[in-house]
Amino acid sequence: MCAVGETYIRAIQRVGGTPVVIPPTALEADWAVLVTHLDGLLLSGGGDIDPQLYGEDSEPWMGQVDAERDFSELGLTRAWLATERPLLAICRGHQVLNVALGGILYQDIAAHVPDALDHAYVATQPMETLAHSVTLNPGSRLAAILGGTTFDVNSSHHQAIKTTGDRLVVTGHAPDGVIEAVEMPAHPFCISVQWHPEAMVKASPTMWPLFEAFVQAAGS
Ligand code: MN
């Protein structure tokens, strides 16, 4: 059993949204209720997704998995995407979105990406610590929302997107080529980032527009 970090809740509150925490045990009957009653879905960070859910056997560097949370979040994500309501995916959520749409992950960046940066950097640092830059596609929604194409971000992940799921396009990379952002161009608001913008909002206003745009889209 896991808990949603306080920083997600405060980031939504900061921009005028009303956070509702969804238990990671939500079942199929709950998904329909949540899809009916919520205005936006934020997929939060957490541990690794079971590789069997994207067709691979577990490699030795895999972290512990939570089958109940995987089932719940993948199902809710697919149900949610049947609507056109806003979805913001962060870190594990970014990976959940990708797997929900048939994408594949690197089970460990260090094991699979030659000369990769240390993306697990903030494991030993405060979460707001900036670890590497990201370069965004100038035509992406995310670049338009954030008002630029290059940002320094935190980094607290050892996995990353290897191949993108259906309808997702890559919109941002780290300097080592690791995918850091994707979005769904055909959807009104489906934005997904590998870093933790919610942990940056207290120290800097850089990521405020992302939460403002998400809550604004959910309220429209
Ligand atoms: Mn990173």
**Domain layout of the chain by residue ranges:** 6-219
Distance 2 CA to ligand 1 centre (A): 22
Distance 88 CA to ligand 1 centre (A): 17
Q: What does pTM read for this prediction? A: 0.97
Would you state the pLDDT for residue 216?
A: 98
Give the HSE-up count for residue 24: Cα atoms under 13 Å, Cβ half-sphere. Answer: 19
For range 106-134, the mean pLDDT: 92
Q: Indicate the pLDDT class of residue 125, thresholds 50, 70 and 90.
A: confident
Would you state the pLDDT for residue 63?
A: 84
Q: Which of 119, 132, 158, 196 is catalytic?
A: 196
Mean pLDDT score of the chain: 95
Distance 149 CA to ligand 1 centre (A): 16
Sign of torsion over alpha carbons 97, 185, 140, 203: negative
Distance 166 CA to ligand 1 centre (A): 22
Distance 201 CA to ligand 1 centre (A): 17
Q: Indicate the pLDDT class of residue 155, thresholds 50, 70 and 90.
A: very high
Burial (CB count within 10 angstroms: exposed 0-12, middle 13-18, buried 19+), residue 6: exposed
Would you state the pLDDT for residue 1?
A: 43
CATH T-level assignment (fold) for domain 6-219: Rossmann fold (3.40.50)
Let me know: does 127 contact 199? Beta carbons within 8 Å. Answer: yes
For range 208-219, the mean pLDDT: 98
Would you state the pLDDT for residue 32?
A: 94
Let me know: does 68 contact 91? Beta carbons within 8 Å. Answer: no
Q: Which of 2, 6, 198, 212 is catalytic?
A: 198
Distance 194 CA to ligand 1 centre (A): 6
Interstrand relation of 87-90 and 190-193 (parallel, antiparallel or unpaired): parallel
- Residue 2: pLDDT over 90: no
Q: Which of 73, 91, 119, 183 is catalytic?
A: 91
Would you state the pLDDT for residue 11?
A: 97
Distance 127 CA to ligand 1 centre (A): 12
53-99 tens-digit pLDDT: 999 999 999 888 999 999 999 999 999 999 999 999 999 999 999 99
**Over the range 175-200, which residues count as b (16 or more CB within 10 Å of their CB) and which as e?**
eeebbbbbbbeebebbbbbbbbbbbb
Residue type, 152: D
User: Is 2 in the active site?
Assistant: no
Distance, CA of 43 to CA of 60 (rounded, Å): 26
What is the length of the chain? 220
Let me know: does 115 contact 96? Beta carbons within 8 Å. Answer: no
